Amino acid sequence: MKITILGAGNWGTTMALVLQRTGHRVTLWEYDIAQAELVSRTRKNEKFLPGYVLPNEITVTSGLDAALDSAELCLLAVPVQKCSGVLRNIRRIPANALIVSLMKGIEQSSLKRVSEICLHELPAVDSSHFAVISGPTIAPEVAAGLPTTAVVASSSHETAETVQKEFSTRELRLYTSNDVIGVELAGALKNVIALAAGMCDGMKLGYNTKGALLTRGLAEIKRLGVSLGGDKSTFGGLSGMGDLITTCSSPHSRNHTVGERIGRGDSPTHVLENMVMVAEGVWTAQAASDLARKRGIEMPITEMVRRVIYEGKDPRASVSELMLRNLKAED
């Protein structure tokens, strides 16, 4: 299968390696011309995935139309906030090509999920040709061939099974789902909780706090996700609880890293200015809070993260406020 990956960050580059190893013809698109030329020439992407050499069989280009020419499947691995702009510049996409999102976030300006962005910007693409892959997938571990499981969700069972068959290897096992909404929201919202978990670790609040945070965080993820049409069982699966545990504990998690530095006393502005890779939870915190207010859903942890990042609220004061909220039954 001829596969084009839009986005040569650590996850896009990782999937290029994984798919090329299984015999697929892979083209990796990088928007930055100089970066694309560097990776193409050196066969290394030290900026995002150090330590790996890209086989010559992987084509690296900055030409969007050339990258998509005759592609049978297009993987989306760009930052969520840049997705609309990238898709808008696509002049033509091959008929019947499958579109598969690897992104985990919500567009801040529109409050749209990735599938909604795609179907809006690519009206010629049928929703049955769209799928999303999500789950506990830390890129360096996947690149190293460590056992990884994830979920591929699509409104079309045929599309989900096609992606499952073409992507699964001895090291990467995919399960199918028809809950696109739930899988997308679980993957996006867990990044916000990972920011909070990082703050807890940065403040050295201990394991009791961390365990409570993950549990209550999952509860509010599920509340918003179900209200927006997701299946509640999805949030207890790989794209929900599985990804949440991983992202809140891995040293490779960008969102956890950002939160930890803030918890140690760095200002959010300073932390973000020095980030090479994107921490999607930063933008999703605002988007999720906006969605929660519109739906009348209570998300106290998410709102706390939003206030710390966007209003400069002290993380320790935020923890005190959470602990002193009105007492209630566990939901």
- Please give the positions annotated as active site: 190
The token pair at 258 is: 């950002």
CA nearest neighbour of 16 among 48, 55, 50:
55
Burial class, 121, CB count within 10 angstroms (exposed 0-12 / middle 13-18 / buried 19+):
middle
Q: Please identify which residue in the block is written with the tokens 């990796």.
A: 28
All residues at 6 or more sequence positions from 57 whose CB lies less than 8 Å from its CB, including other chains? 20, 25, 26
Q: Please identify which residue in the block is written with the tokens 């966007």.
A: 310
Q: Report the residue count for the chain.
A: 331
CA nearest neighbour of 186 among 137, 144, 239:
239
The token pair at 215 is: 């549990």
